Structure 1
Amino acid sequence: MSEQRTRPVFYAVWLIIASVIGWFAAFQLTVEKFTLLQNPSDALSCDISPFIQCSKNLNSWQGEVFGFPNPIMGLSGWIAPLVVGVAILAGARFPRWFWLTFGAGVTFAFGLVCWLIAQSLYDLFVLCPWCMITWAVTIPTFFATMLHLTRNGSFTRSEKARERADKLMVWVPLATILSYAVVIVLAQLQGLDFLGEMARLIF
């Protein structure tokens, strides 16, 4: 379905919501990093247990894989989908090169998140609460963006493929839930008491 024929309101709203949540999580991680630098021996507010904590992630090389703390990427990176979402609601139309560049950025973020999930589960053996919030919004943003770039003609000119992508948009929440389930199962298989800790926090 052509972007020129319909404004992707729900997609735009999701970009705004995801950006606000992702940016807030990155901000909190940045604050925790500053706290850790000032008081290396103190426990952080997000250090819930040996399995659910931020300290180990922030102190690891994975926590600054590009030579600076990863949350800085979140503080800057989440601004892009926020601006795109607001612009779409304002009626902006973007050329194909813009969408492909945006899609590349979202794909990079998704790939980095998948790598960080693997590192958390199989190398660090901990789950960072603020990191998990970032994962939680990055995953559906990737799914929705790939489908949107298909339906708006950025990936293909095939009308059938574009219509199919438009219909698949309603399945993004289910795909997201299944992705969360995979991460939880992998955590359980690694012996991380993820479900127990989350239940303790909720109840």
Structure 2
Amino acid sequence: MSEQRTRPVVYAVWLIIASVFGWWAAFQLTVEKFALLENPDTTLNCDVSVFVQCGTNLQSWQGSVFGFPNPIIGLTGWMAPLVVGVAILAGARFPRWFWALYGLGIACAFVFICWLIGQSFFDLHTLCPWCALTYVVVIPTFYSTVLQLFQNGTFRVSESARERAQRLGAWVPLASIVSFALIIVLAQVAGVDVIGSVIGLFP
């Protein structure tokens, strides 16, 4: 079997793409946080409407749940999948314990954003645009990472289970789209008129 086929090239490329977009979202939120610290009454560039904005999120306790602004987590955390993606393309092979820790980190990120989604919609009643970009890259990264852990032997499963995980990889985009649709539905149920706010941007 060729090197190209044995290495998870598609997964590695996705990690790099997701890391770039995720880091950029975290960077933009950090810049907006600095603007709020300088002038708490300023109107941020990401404040699209009363529902679609990041000012409320950044100034809430949920925006600094660990005692420091959440974007700092993104600025540092996205370096891990970026390095893993580049290393895989370079031909690196990681031991099982590394994949287990990496998978745990991705799972924690997924759980964290799920909690943030709930807090944003049902407590703050807003959708942060840069946070939404983070959701868009974390969710498929989580799905694809779980399947990768089955395929590379991190989870002790049969060969048939590994093959099924490989076939399921083609369904990650659809599963992600369904997840995004569910997020929009949850926003509407919570009274966050995301659709109306977006439509309102166009004359």
Could you tell me the TM-score, scaled by structure 1's length? 0.96
Secondary structure of 2:122's aligned partner = helix
Matching of residue 146 in structure 1 with residue 153 in structure 2: no
Q: Distance in 1 between matches of 2:7 and 2:148?
A: 11
Deviation at 1:197, TM superposition (A): 1.8
Distance in 1 (CA, whole Å) between partners of 2:154 and 2:73 is 26
Q: Distance in 1 between matches of 2:179 and 2:199?
A: 19
Separation in 2 of the partners of 1:198 and 1:147?
Answer: 34
| Counterpart-to-counterpart distance in 2, 1:159 and 1:147 | 13
Shift of 1:133: 0.3
Residue correspondences, number: 202
Deviations 1:42-78 (A, max 9, x none): 1111011110111100000000000000000000000
Instruction: Tell me how large the CA RMSD over aligned residues is.
Output: 1.6
Rounded Cα–Cα distance in structure 2 between residues aligned with 1:106 and 1:71: 16
1:48-63 alignment, distance < 5 Å: 48-63=48-63
CA distance 1:185–1:96, change in 2 (3 Å): same
- Is the contact between residue 156 and residue 162 of structure 1 (CA under 8 Å) also seen in structure 2? no
User: What TM-score comes out, normalization by structure 2 length?
Assistant: 0.96
Change (3 A) 1:202 1:106: farther
Partner of 2:71: 71
Identity %: 66
Q: Who is 1:11 aligned against?
A: 11
| Structure 1 residue 188: Cα displacement | 1.0
Counterpart contact for 1:64–1:70, Cα < 8 Å: yes
CA drift of 1:199 comes to 3.0
Q: Matched residues in 1 for 2:77 and 2:190: separation?
A: 31
Q: Helix, strand or coil for the counterpart of 1:160?
A: helix
5+ residue gaps, structure 1: none
Structure 1 position 202, deviation (Å):
6.4
Unaligned 5+ segments in structure 2 are none
Instruction: State the match for 2:93 in structure 1.
Output: 93
Runs of 4+ in structure 1 over 4 Å off:
none
Shift of 1:5: 6.4
Aligned to 1:117: 117
**Aligned-pair CA distance for 1:4:** 10
Conserved 8 A contact 1:52-1:197: yes
2:15, 2:200 → 1: CA distance?
A: 31
